[in-house]
Each structure stands twice: as structure tokens, then as C-alpha cells.
Amino acid sequence: MKKLLTVLLAVVMVFALAACGGENEATGGNGKVGALYIGNVNDGGFTQSMNEALQSATEANDLELLIKENLGENDAQAIRDAVTNFIDQGCTIIVGCSFGYGEVLNELANSGDYDDITFLHFSGPYQNETNLENFFGSMEEARYLSGMAAASVSETGVLGYVAAFPYTEVQIGINAFTLGAQAINPDIEVKVIYINTWGDAEIERTGAEQLIAADCDVLTYHADSTATQLAASEAGVYTTGWNVANNVAGDYYITAPYWDIEGYFSSTFEKVLNGEFAPSGNQPFSYYGSMADGMICLDELGSAVPEDVAQQINDVKEQMENGEFEVFSGEIRYSDGTLLCEEGQTLTDEEIWQINKEVEGVTATSN
């Protein structure tokens, strides 16, 4: 009987150890990462791109990913509660995947209570020298190239842009898109509708339909869902995607500027795990990716883009990757006539992030 009990005990211990090993493999033996998302992970846009990158990076570093979806930017206490809940669950890395989370992350990172937690924030402006890094990238590069593609397929010479807010990040994209379009057609017009939300498919669709009614025959957008693409394709209007390479418009899809942030996350997590992480302290961002390092991407061009323009786009893209082409360079004026960039000047990253209006060729309204 004693021998039988010993055997049974050994069997139970084997199964217990196997279960523990399986749990450790599934959850990540190196710890946990908590991610705050403004949308849901299947939105076909920004949140999906961030989640896919974080899934890959956490798996590569044997980390478990915990997520909080549909977290608004306007409730500081809800953001704070989500972060502290992650920390209570054992997360040592917190990733805030929207601009509006920055103030709370900055508060917690500098409170002295969470010095052992690494905070990563998308789009700034907060950073410190120890445990808070902001990261972004030169999306103006891909926006410029998509503007070239848009102008090449337009017959009316009027492009439409569904935009979230009249905020610097969005205006940088609008201006870069417009400059790219003007490189193909100097007389191009870009009509912008600010919808005053990052992500609301119904409002995005309404904005897209208003632009189509205003004679725009190519649409692009800076908002989180694919509603603009769907509205364009249903109306027989060309469109770009945004945030991910996500053609939902069929033959009316021409390309998409999109993020590939997995490399940044993976290398940053590795540094944190090795005790080598330190924010760079650069302005306006600790880390600023580009087409050269692979964070900023342009999807394949649709068949509607003429071959000669496609070659021109690829040539400019190659120049960007080699550091030979800057979007905001030479004389550029705002739509009110004031100077943004003078002849012989190239804007620095810090100067680009002081943009606060639209360039010549843009007319903007707000819903």
C-alpha cells in the first residue's frame, strides 16, 4: 500500500510539473507586457497594426501580452486604473498605444512609485531619462508617396481626406500627402474634413460620402476604421488604406501608408530584459523610425497607378531610404500664405512637429 501511494504521488507530481511548464510556455517565462488600445484588435486599422506587432514581439521575447481594448483618451482615472491593474497582474512593461494616454503614463513613470516599470508611449510628447520612452516615425514619407499615387489616378484633380483632428500629427500627414500629389499634378486640390474622432466608422463614412459629393475622386484618411475605403469602393472611387496593408476596396485600392512596429518592440523588449534600456532623450521623440529602418512602409501599388508614376514613386522611395529625399524641403507655404519652409531649408524633426496648419492646395472644414 505504501509503495502504491508513493507511485501515485510521483505521478501526480509529474502531471503538476507538466501543467506548470505548459502554463509558463503559454504565458511567457520572461514576464508580462500590458497594452492600452483605443480601439479593438480587429478594427482593420491602427489598433490591429499595434496588436499584431506586439503579439509578434512578445512571443519573440517569451513575454505574455495583456491588453485593454476600447480605452478612451478622455478619462484619466480609467487610464490610470488600467495601468495599475496591469502592474498588479505582474506587468513590468506598459505600452500606451494612443496619444491621449501620455499624460497619465508620464505621471506614473515620474511618480517614484513605479521606477521598476518601463513605459512606452506612441506619439509623445512625454519622455524621461530612465523609464519612459515615446516612439513614433516619419510617416510623412509614406504619406508623400501615397499622394503621388492618388494624384496619378485622379481625373477631377480633387482629392479627399477624412482626418481625425486638426492636430500636428494629422496635419503633417495631410501636408505630406498634398506635397506628393503636387509633385504629379501641381494644380491638385485636397479637400479635408476633420471628423473630431480617432475612430467612429459611421462618422468616417459620412465624411467620406461628403467628400465624394464634393467631386473628390480619390480618398484617403487618418482615422482608425476602414469605413472610408468601403464608402469609396461602393461609389466607384479610388482610395488608399491606412495603418495596415488592408485592401478592402478591391480594384479601387491604390496603396496604403502603414506601420511595421514589431522590430522596435522586439528590440526594445530585449533591451529591457537585458537591463540595457534607456530612453534616448532625443526631441521630439526618444525613438523616431523611418522607411530606412522599416518602421514606415508603403503597400504595393494598385494596377490603376500608371507604370511611369509607379516607377517615379519607387525611385523617390529609394531616395528616402538612402537619406537623399526629404519631404519638407525647399519653399513650402501654408494655405494662408505664411512660410512653412524656405528655399534651401530642410525642416528638422522638431520643426516638422511644430506644423499647425495646412499647406497651399488644401481646403479644410470640420464636422
Q: What is the mean pLDDT of residues 116-128?
A: 93
HSE-up of residue 19 (Cα within 13 Å, Cβ side)? 6
Question: Residues 182-206: pLDDT tens digits?
Answer: 999 999 999 999 999 998 999 999 9
Q: Are 238 and 304 in contact (CB under 8 A)?
A: yes
SS3 366: strand
pTM for the full predicted model: 0.90
Return the sign of the alpha-carbon dihedral for residues 321, 327, 328, 330.
positive
Question: Residues 326-337: pLDDT tens digits?
Answer: 999 999 999 999
Least confident of 4-13, 32-41, 48-57, 218-227: 4-13
Q: What is the mean pLDDT of residues 313-322?
A: 98
- If DSSP states are collapsed to H, E and C, what string results for 241-275? CCECCCCCCHHHEEECEEECCHHHHHHHHHHHHCC
Residue 252: name the closest of 140, 139, 154 by CA.
154
Per-residue confidence band for 28, with pLDDT thresholds at 50, 70 and 90: confident
| Residue 47 or residue 280, greater confidence | 47
Distance of CA 71 to the CA centre of its chain: 16
9: its cell numbers = 504521488
**Mean pLDDT taken over the chain:** 92
Per-residue confidence band for 27, with pLDDT thresholds at 50, 70 and 90: low
Helical pair 140-153 and 307-321, crossing angle rounded to 10 deg: 170
Q: What is the mean pLDDT of residues 20-32?
A: 59
